[in-house]
């Protein structure tokens, strides 16, 4: 009974399995599948993390579009003069 | 193809061009990994300086942006190693209990602490406006990830590095690497849920 309780209730282990690409043996994978069939929370967590992952993979393109975080002109001008000064010293 | 810089004027022009074209991207990239703006500014300056010193060796195999980003990436890793007073393994052990208590019922076989409900985004396709809104909230949530593990998570998704490379660079075991990925996704999911990003 304790064994079934562990399989059916350990959301942390199951969610970790589905949120990562960590390799596990087929017995564990079967246990996780059984858990997933019965656990609505883990099913939802799994679907949500898939969605997050998909968006994370596009984040590289989003950096260029994200205009809310940009370096100030003041910093850029300071950077130019400081780099030029350091290069001239060498 | 190699770039040969002939005189001071040419170098000054190149400095201006590089800084004007690439600082915003490098700033945003570093902002995803580091918290303190002063550190970010110093590392960006060091990146340009190293790039310019070695500019004659720049091979046109990748874009200048990619080349600069990889220099900055290595500088950030070195900076984090120097600054770190606690190893990542120690950090994970020290925060394990807190993380578990935050999300899981440790007295009941580690079931989820709160019910994770289905959200609108699972079954529906976002329009462009909703997609952008979701992305900007996701961006904010990434910013709130714990500073110690955020660079590792970003290395996977932004730099698209393999797990073996990341483990080597940050000196962590494979199993702790997966713990970090799991924790970050759980923090992100929680943050998105709180900001109601699932129902834009």
Mean pLDDT of B21-41: 89
Find the residue in B nearest to A35 (Cα). Answer: B111
Closest residue in chain A to residue B179, using alpha carbons only: A16
Which pLDDT value is given to residue B41?
A: 93
3-state secondary structure chain B: CCCCCCCHHHHHHHHHHHHHHHHHHHHHHHHHHCCCHHHHHHHHHHHHHHHHHCHHHCCCCCCHHHHHHHHHHHHHHHHHHHHCCCCHHHHHHHHHHHHHHHHEECCCCCEECCCCCCCHHHHCCCCHHHHHHHHHHHHHHHHCCCCCCHHHHHHHHCCCCCHHHHHHHHCCCHHHHHHHHHHHHHHHHHHHHHCCCCCC
User: What confidence tens digit (pLDDT) does each residue in B126-144 have?
Assistant: 677 777 777 778 888 888 8
Q: Check residue A9 and give its pLDDT.
A: 72
When pLDDT is cut at 50, 70 and 90, the band that residue B5 belongs to is low
Please report which confidence band the pLDDT of residue B123 belongs to, taking 50, 70 and 90 as the band edges: low
The answer to whether B27 contacts A49, with C-beta atoms less than 8 Å apart, is: no
Residues of A in contact with B160 (CB under 8 A): 57, 60
Searching chain B, which residue's CA lies closest to the CA of residue A51?
B122
To the nearest whole Å, the CA of B84 is away from the closest chain A CA by: 26
Check if the beta carbon of residue B189 is closer than 8 Å to that of residue A52.
Answer: yes
DSSP A52: H
pLDDT at residue B92, as a whole number: 94
Interface test with B, best of A2, A6, A15, A85 (most B CBs within 10 A): A15
* Contact check, Cβ <8 Å, A48/B189: yes
Q: What is the ipTM of this complex?
A: 0.81
State chain B's mean pLDDT as an integer.
85
Burial of B7: CB neighbours in 10 Å, binned 0-12, 13-18, 19+: exposed
pLDDT at res. B60: 72
Query: In this structure, are residues B70 and B16 in contact, taking their beta carbons and an 8 Å threshold?
Result: no
pLDDT digits (tens, 9 = 90+) for B71-113: 999 999 999 888 878 889 999 999 999 999 899 988 888 889 8
Q: What is the pLDDT of residue B107?
A: 85
Q: Is the pLDDT reported for residue B3 higher than 60?
A: no
In this complex, the residue of A13, A40, A88 whose CB is nearest that of residue B110 is A13
How many CB pairs (< 8 A) connect A and B?
144
Report pLDDT for B140: 85
Structure tokens at B83: 């600054």
Q: What is the pLDDT of residue B96?
A: 93
Q: What pLDDT does B1 receive? A: 38
Q: How far is B198 from chain A (nearest CA, A)?
A: 9
Task: Give the pLDDT mean for A62-78.
Answer: 76
Q: What's the predicted TM-score (pTM) here?
A: 0.82
Task: Please tell me if residue A15 touches chain B, with a CB cutoff of 8 Å.
Answer: yes
What's the mean pLDDT when you consider all of chain A? 83
Q: What is the pLDDT of residue B122?
A: 59
**Closest by CA position to A56, among listed B130, B89, B141:** B141
pLDDT on residue B49: 93
| Model pLDDT for residues B157-188, shown as the tens digit of each residue | 888 889 999 999 999 999 999 999 999 999 99
pLDDT reported for residue B90? 92
For B182, the closest of A20, A44, A58 (CB atoms) is A20
- Residue that wins the pLDDT comparison between B120 and B99: B99
Q: Say if residue A57's pLDDT is above 80.
A: no
Find out whether B88 and B152 touch, Cβ atoms under 8 Å: yes
The answer to whether B29 and A59 have CB atoms below 8 angstroms apart is no
**Percentage of chain B exceeding pLDDT 70:** 90
Long-range contacts of B39-43 (CB under 8 A, 24+ apart): B39/B79, B41/A75, B41/A79, B43/B72, B43/B75, B43/B76, B43/B79
Query: Chain B partners of A36 at a C-beta cutoff of 8 Å?
Result: none
Q: Could A70 and B178 be called an inter-chain contact, meaning their C-beta atoms sit closer than 8 Å?
A: no
Alpha carbon distances (Å) from B50 to A16, B75, B149: 40, 10, 27
Residue B200 pLDDT exceeds 50 = no
Which of A23, A28, A38, A51 to mutate: most B Cβ within 10 Å? A51
Mean pLDDT of A2-18: 81
pLDDT of residue B43: 96
CA atoms within 13 A on the CB side of A17: 20
pLDDT tens column, A24-41: 899 889 999 999 999 999
């Amino acid at each position: 009974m304790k064994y079934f309780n562990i399989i059916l209730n350990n959301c942390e282990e199951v969610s970790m399995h589905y949120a990562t690409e960590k390799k596990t043996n087929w017995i564990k994978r079967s246990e996780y599948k059984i858990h997933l069939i019965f656990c609505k929370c883990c099913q939802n967590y799994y679907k949500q993390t898939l969605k997050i992952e998909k968006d994370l993979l596009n984040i590289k393109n989003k950096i260029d579009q994200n205009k809310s975080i940009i370096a100030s002109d003041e910093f850029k001008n300071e950077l130019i003069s400081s780099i030029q000064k350091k290069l001239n010293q060498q | 193809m190699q770039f040969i810089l002939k005189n001071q004027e040419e170098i000054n022009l190149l400095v201006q061009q590089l800084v004007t074209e690439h600082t915003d991207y490098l700033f945003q990239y570093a902002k995803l990994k580091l918290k303190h703006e002063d550190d970010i500014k110093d590392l960006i300056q060091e990146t340009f300086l190293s790039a310019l010193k070695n500019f004659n060796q720049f091979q046109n195999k990748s874009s200048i942006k990619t080349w600069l980003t990889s220099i900055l990436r290595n500088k950030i890793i070195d900076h984090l190693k120097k600054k770190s007073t606690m190893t990542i393994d120690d950090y994970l052990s020290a925060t394990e209990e807190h993380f578990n208590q935050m999300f899981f019922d440790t007295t009941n076989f580690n079931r989820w602490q709160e019910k994770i409900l289905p959200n609108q985004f699972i079954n529906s396709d976002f329009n462009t406006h909703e997609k952008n809104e979701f992305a900007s909230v996701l961006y904010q949530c990434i910013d709130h990830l714990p500073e110690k593990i955020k660079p590792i998570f970003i290395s996977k998704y932004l730099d698209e590095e393999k797990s073996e490379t990341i483990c080597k660079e940050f000196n962590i075991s494979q199993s702790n690497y997966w713990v970090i990925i799991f924790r970050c996704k759980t923090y992100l999911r929680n943050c998105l849920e709180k900001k109601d990003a699932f129902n834009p």
